Structure 1
Amino acid sequence: MSELLTVRDLKIEATAYPPGEPPKDITIVEGVSFSLPKGRVLGLIGESGAGKSTIGLSALAYGRGSARITGGEVLLNGENILKLGKSGIRKLRGDRVCYVAQSAAAAFNPAHRLGDQVIEATVAHKLMTVEEARARATYLFGVLGLPNPETFGERYPHQVSGGQLQRAMTAMALCSNPELIVFDEPTTALDVTTQIDVLAAIKHAIETTHTAALYITHDLAVVAQISDDIMVLRQGKTVEYGTTQQIIEAPAQEYTRALVNVRQARKEEATDQSDRQLKIENVTAGYSNGFKVLHDVSLHLPKGQTLAVVGESGSGKSTLARVITGLLPPMSGTVTFDGKPLTPALKQRSRDDLRRIQLIYQMADTAMNPRQTVRDIIGRPLTFYRGLHGAAKTARVKELLEQIEMASGFIDRYPAELSGGQKQRVAIARALAAEPELILCDEPTSALDPLVAEGILSLLMRLQAETQVSYMFITHDIAIVRAIADSVAVMHRGRLVRFGPKSEVLSPPFDDYTDLLLKSVPEMELGWLERALATRRMESAGH
């Protein structure tokens, strides 16, 4: 089997800038070696900071940010691309090696048609004429399952869905007939119902064009559907490297076993769900242009329990949370908490009403002031809601840090000095500082790696057992729903399509959308993607 890509003893360094200290060089990838034959896919998996993307970009002889490739070899068809000059590297990228980023929306220019952007690099490298490149793009649009391949390229980025845009970016990468494509978490930002279509399209395109690929992700169930081999990385080093079957069925290392077994536990739902601490009745809501996002939604949440709200992007999950908090007054309907109707608008609510309902955001990075320390971030609600100052406030901040399993030594750190999981724990502590009775969790683990997310979920469950706080947990991850929920609400296009105890909502008979949602969740099994697609085709034929 001829090796297309060979990486030997790769070493990558970067410059770190610790606050208040001089810059220093750190090693972020060390001693990594692997090979990739033509027509095969190697999955690179690991937590944030493991070096996945950094290693993938080394196949383009590229060091992102301040990263520098300082050791080892990267051989493409036997040629060490690290020794190519600037002109040689320019010729390599977009011709022999292409890259598919995580965010297609950020990769396309909104002012230009998709077709022109898909063929741009191919034409610039003079690999084809404009006419040949357009014909190639049309062919690839068909291979990738895009609608109306002949005219799809005439659309602008804003005129297609996220899943279609991701496939268009894959077409862009494939257009030049590259030898190797680096896929950098291409489905992470997609809903599970969209993800399955994009995965299938990528896999089909790779098989059709015989291109080799590096597939970077932190989701082992996803990579198991598309990769021939898997390399597990942690802290810039190889943990385990083998065939996909060996990695998922007989992992040798403890860290790999933890990835395979993540989120296996399931919480037993509460038997009595008759209480109505939070009651939402016939809520319709939208925005100032009159566009309705929620349509006549009614549900409830008992005290001390967890309601999971699931659905794809645009289903109205986060809009529902905005209505509950008062950030978006409803057009009609009521929100009642502990038997008392909540004032629709946030600014009209009492301080105690504000205190009782707190929100944890999806992105802790954007929800914190980077100029404030942990002491300030957690301390602010202590002053606002509890009137604490000085030593009493500091003591309570330290208690909250202990409660979220972070030592008091973190108290004077800034957000930039925390990991993703630590930032999310601080966000939880900030919510707890108000001593709330309900916390709205808006996908707080979706940006985290599986093992880090597992720790956050375990923390939330422990805090609920200790304080009897209620959670409304917004997610599109069915594994999380099974792990933490008592009741489940399934939303689709702003409507509630299914609601009740978890055991009932996740058991047949299903409505069509819930059935599709559940069948789109990747499982840690070889061949799951093909079986899921076959089931879809059979059901479509039956209809």
Structure 2
Amino acid sequence: MSEPLLKMRDVRIDGFTDERWHEIIKGVDLDLHHGEVLGLIGESGAGKSTLGLAAMGFARPGCRLTSGEIVFDGMDLMAMSERRKQKLRGTRIAYVAQSAAAAFNPAHTLLKQTTEVAVRTGVMGQKEAEEYARELYAAMDLPNPRTIGERFPHQVSGGQLQRAMTAMAMCAKPDLIVFDEPTTALDVTTQVNVLAAMRKAVKDYNTAAIYITHDLAVVAQMADRIKVLRFGEEVEEQPTAQMLSDPKEDYTRSLWAVRGIEKPGESGPDKILELKKITAAYGTTPVLTKVNIAVPRGKTVALVGESGSGKSTTARVVTGLLPPVSGQVIFDGAPLPPELKNRSKDQLQKIQMIYQMADTAMNPKQSVGEIIGRPLRFYHGMSGTAQRERIAELLEMIELDPSFADRLPGELSGGQKQRVCIARALAAEPELIICDEVTSALDQIVQEGILKLLLRLQKELGVSYIFITHDIETVRAIADEVVVMYQGEVVEQGLKEEIFAPPHPDYTELLLSSVPQMEAGWLDRAIAERRELVDSRGEVATD
């Protein structure tokens, strides 16, 4: 067999925590050939992203490459100067990060940023690069691929921005791409197309790829081989089909079986929240049309649908951030003022929100105690000893030690950050919490912990949830009722068991059939089934 494009031997990396250096990658080997995809999986803290960045000869702040061998196309990255490595990055080695919002300059259009590296390094001219970028936009299933590049980052959805970042990485036709959780922000229907496009691009251009993910079903569709990491060490590595059918190690088998939660759905006669014929728009663009949704007290209603279906807009209407054009929001039997500024402190206190990205939802310079303490002061006037005691109670409630109050967000894992965001919402003592994709950025073991925590809190406190998600497995785990949305309308709603039982409206069938399965060849079958469900106009019937 030919020499690998990337060869890593006995790679060791230190991280600086608790005022000293700790070894976080402990002698890992890795080989990767042209046209091959290696999947890296493992729970938070396993070292997946750290190892992926090391493949570029890079260590993030707070980390250092200490020893080992990293050879890319015959070049020793460990011995290479930083200036030479920088010339490789973005051209011959590209990186697709999880957080697209942080990867784009808000002052420049998508097209300018997509083509910048290819043009600046002479890979192709401006016009050629722009045409190729539009081809990539189409391959990434972006709307209006000929013109979407003229938009600025804030003018597209998070999922669209994630796909644009993938196109940006591919534009210079690199030899190696490191994909770091690139489909986390995507709904299931979009994810199918994007995964297929990524896989096709890798094969068509004979590109090598490292695909980092916590989604086992996704890596099963993308990777030729899978490497499992834990605590910075390799657990095992096998070809994908063999790994799925016969994992050798107990830890790998535990990853395969982790998502076993399923809450039996049930409704209730008392409604904490009702949306009645809500129509909403951004400027002159309608986004919700006569939406009716009811949330039973003490229960969970999941809003599902692809990007642009109106899920997050519905949350903005409930919270008063987007006043509806018409219709009413009824909370606890009384109409809420449409605009946030006209709601009383008591009305604000009863509805809280937990956001998808805990990283950007907390001030990095404030301690956990300060973050949780703010709603205690604002809503309940707490300070001093009473506030400190309540912060300790809330931390214990979310299964964190009270000593976490002194830590900064940067000292927490992803799961711990999300728990702190849950504690902040609970500090207000709300009756309804809107959870917007709160587990999508977390690995499956941490997801399970967060879902179990939310279920326990609901049972103990009687709080109601609106759970916005594109993850059908999460819906099975936490929802009592399901609302399926499509292009700003409610397609169907009802108890979870009723919604998931066939026959389905075509759009619900499309959603359910787009959930990645842990079996080889699923992606090809899913693409074929989608073609059958989509009519000749490229639209999906909703009833």
Could you tell me which of 259, 265, 268 is aligned with 1:263? 259
Could you tell me which of 268, 275, 278 is aligned with 1:283? 278
Cα gap change, 1:148/1:278 in structure 2, threshold over 3 Å: closer, same or farther? closer
Match status 1:406 vs 2:406: no
Q: Which amino acid aligns with 2:238?
A: G
Q: Give 1:329 shift.
A: 3.0
TM-score normalised over the length of structure 1: 0.87
Partner of 1:358: 352
| Cα separation, 1, equivalents of 2:352 and 2:106 | 36
| Cα separation, 2, equivalents of 1:153 and 1:379 | 42
1:163–1:198 Cα contact (<8 Å) kept: no
| Cα separation, 1, equivalents of 2:363 and 2:55 | 36
Could you tell me which of 201, 204, 212 is aligned with 1:205? 201
SS at match of 2:210: strand
Q: Give 1:528 shift.
A: 1.0
Deviates more, 1:222-231 or 1:529-538: 529-538
Partner of 2:241: 245
1:113–1:153 Cα contact (<8 Å) kept: no
SS at match of 2:515: coil
| Cα separation, 1, equivalents of 2:496 and 2:364 | 39
Partner of 1:527: 521
* 1:336-347 aligned within 5 A: 336-347=330-341
Could you tell me which of 214, 217, 222 is aligned with 1:221? 217
| Cα separation, 2, equivalents of 1:406 and 1:153 | 44
- Count matched residues: 535
SS at match of 1:395: helix
| Cα separation, 2, equivalents of 1:390 and 1:35 | 56
Partner of 2:9: 8
1:144–1:204 Cα contact (<8 Å) kept: no
Partner of 2:299: 305
Cα gap change, 1:308/1:152 in structure 2, threshold over 3 Å: closer, same or farther? closer
Q: Which amino acid aligns with 2:354?
A: I
Cα gap change, 1:331/1:135 in structure 2, threshold over 3 Å: closer, same or farther? closer
Q: Which amino acid aligns with 1:9?
A: D
Cα gap change, 1:74/1:429 in structure 2, threshold over 3 Å: closer, same or farther? same
Q: Give 1:8 shift.
A: 0.3
- 5+ residue gaps, structure 1: none
CA offsets per residue over residues 18-74 of structure 1, 9 Å max, x none?
6xxxx5433332211121233221011233443222222222222233433221001
Cα gap change, 1:65/1:415 in structure 2, threshold over 3 Å: closer, same or farther? closer
Cα gap change, 1:343/1:233 in structure 2, threshold over 3 Å: closer, same or farther? same
Greater Cα radius of gyration, structure 1 or 2 = 1
SS at match of 1:537: helix
| Cα separation, 1, equivalents of 2:492 and 2:293 | 10
Partner of 1:83: 79
Q: Give 1:114 shift.
A: 6.6
| Cα separation, 1, equivalents of 2:95 and 2:55 | 10
* 1:375-386 aligned within 5 A: 375-386=369-380
Could you tell me which of 42, 45, 48 is aligned with 1:46? 42
Cα gap change, 1:386/1:123 in structure 2, threshold over 3 Å: closer, same or farther? closer
Q: Give 1:182 shift.
A: 2.1
| Cα separation, 1, equivalents of 2:130 and 2:313 | 41
Partner of 2:311: 317
Q: Give 1:307 shift.
A: 0.5
1:167–1:202 Cα contact (<8 Å) kept: no
Match status 1:327 vs 2:321: yes
Matched-pair identity in %: 57
Cα gap change, 1:313/1:126 in structure 2, threshold over 3 Å: closer, same or farther? closer
Q: Which amino acid aligns with 2:288?
A: L
CA offsets per residue over residues 454-501 of structure 1, 9 Å max, x none?
111101101111222211111111111111111011122222121111
Match status 1:505 vs 2:506: no
Match status 1:373 vs 2:374: no
Could you tell me which of 64, 86, 93 is aligned with 2:60? 64
| Cα separation, 2, equivalents of 1:371 and 1:4 | 41
Cα gap change, 1:442/1:181 in structure 2, threshold over 3 Å: closer, same or farther? closer
2:106–2:152 Cα contact (<8 Å) kept: yes
SS at match of 1:190: coil
| Cα separation, 1, equivalents of 2:463 and 2:9 | 52
| Cα separation, 1, equivalents of 2:109 and 2:363 | 38
Q: Which amino acid aligns with 1:25?
A: W
1:143–1:204 Cα contact (<8 Å) kept: no
Could you tell me which of 43, 50, 73 is aligned with 2:69? 73
| Cα separation, 1, equivalents of 2:446 and 2:491 | 31
Deviates more, 1:342-351 or 1:237-246: 342-351
Partner of 1:464: 458
| Cα separation, 2, equivalents of 1:137 and 1:319 | 30
TM-score normalised over the length of structure 2: 0.87
Partner of 2:540: none
SS at match of 1:500: strand
| Cα separation, 1, equivalents of 2:87 and 2:403 | 50
| Cα separation, 1, equivalents of 2:129 and 2:256 | 42
Deviates more, 1:507-516 or 1:376-385: 376-385
| Cα separation, 2, equivalents of 1:365 and 1:118 | 25
2:141–2:190 Cα contact (<8 Å) kept: no
Cα gap change, 1:295/1:156 in structure 2, threshold over 3 Å: closer, same or farther? closer
| Cα separation, 2, equivalents of 1:342 and 1:181 | 49
Q: Which amino acid aligns with 2:49?
A: S
1:316–1:492 Cα contact (<8 Å) kept: yes
